[in-house]
Homo-oligomer: A and B are copies of this chain.
Amino acid sequence: MTGPGLRERKKQDTRTALAAATLRLAAEHGWSAVTVEQIAAEAGVSYRTFFNHFSSKEEALLQPRGAGTGRFAVLLAEQDPALPPLAAARTALRAELATLDDDREAWRQRLSVLAAEPTLLARAVEVGTANEREMAGALAQRTGQDVQRDLYPTLLAAVLGAALRVTLVRWQCAGGSPDLPDQFDEALSLLAAGLPAPSRDH
């Protein structure tokens, strides 16, 4: 009943403080203008400690809560077993995106910072690969396959990651006008249909 324990709580506090400091400073001064040293100082810890919590500056901005929280696996397991994997993943990820909506303003800021720096975008992709591994594992469990042997889970995870990335970028570029889950749904519909040639009228 002690819960997470004092140690764990302290660690989380540090991580949260670092992530918050990163976002605040980046939003105020621009991404490249802020250094890890400043972030660490703002969070009240040492320079080196920053890299004990995040493996890169980008990760501090884009994965404030950490990657392998297993939320996707849980959400996926909750889906109706009768659903095919792609449909189940679509619903799970929509739920995940809805969660994101909780601190909508923070994410708006994050993507705004991201949009201002093209370099950041490339590195953001790297951050995403960790999530893809997690997704692949969860999908393999659902289909009863082996991540190493079978192509399907890994491919599906990679494709979902790609769709997610594209959706996020376009959502930000468009100023957030179409709802994020809707944009994601559009992409997933295209995938489910086998990426058919677009109709000529638009």
Cβ-based interface call for A64 (8 A): no
**Which of B126, B155, B170, B195 is the one whose CB lies under 8 Å from A187?**
B155
Tell me how many residues of A have a C-beta within 8 Å of chain B: 42
- Across the interface, do B200 and A144 meet the contact criterion of CB distance under 8 Å? yes
Question: Interface majority SS on A: helix, strand, loop or mixed?
Answer: helix
Q: Which residues of B contact A150 (CB under 8 A)?
A: 198, 202
- Across the interface, do A186 and B143 meet the contact criterion of CB distance under 8 Å? no
Distance of A3 Cα from B42 Cα, bound (Å): 57
- Across the interface, do B166 and A158 meet the contact criterion of CB distance under 8 Å? yes
Cβ-based interface call for A6 (8 A): no
Chain B residue at smallest Cβ distance from A164: B158
Least CB distance, A27 to chain B, in whole angstroms: 24
Cβ-based interface call for A5 (8 A): no
Please report which residues of chain A, range 181-202, place their CB below 8 angstroms from some CB of chain B when the two chains form the complex: 183, 186-187, 190-198, 200, 202
Least CB distance, A55 to chain B, in whole angstroms: 10
Chain B residue at smallest Cβ distance from A83: B197
Cβ-based interface call for A45 (8 A): no
Q: Which residues of B contact A158 (CB under 8 A)?
A: 162-163, 165-166
List 12 other contacts, CB 8 Å, given A123-B126, A151-B166: A86-B194, A86-B196, A143-B198, A144-B200, A148-B173, A155-B163, A158-B165, A158-B166, A159-B191, A162-B162, A191-B191, A193-B194
28 contacts across the A-B interface (CB closer than 8 A): A84-B196, A84-B197, A86-B197, A121-B129, A122-B126, A125-B125, A126-B126, A143-B198, A150-B198, A151-B166, A152-B190, A152-B195, A154-B166, A154-B170, A155-B166, A155-B190, A155-B195, A156-B195, A158-B163, A159-B159, A159-B162, A159-B163, A159-B191, A161-B162, A191-B191, A191-B194, A191-B195, A192-B195
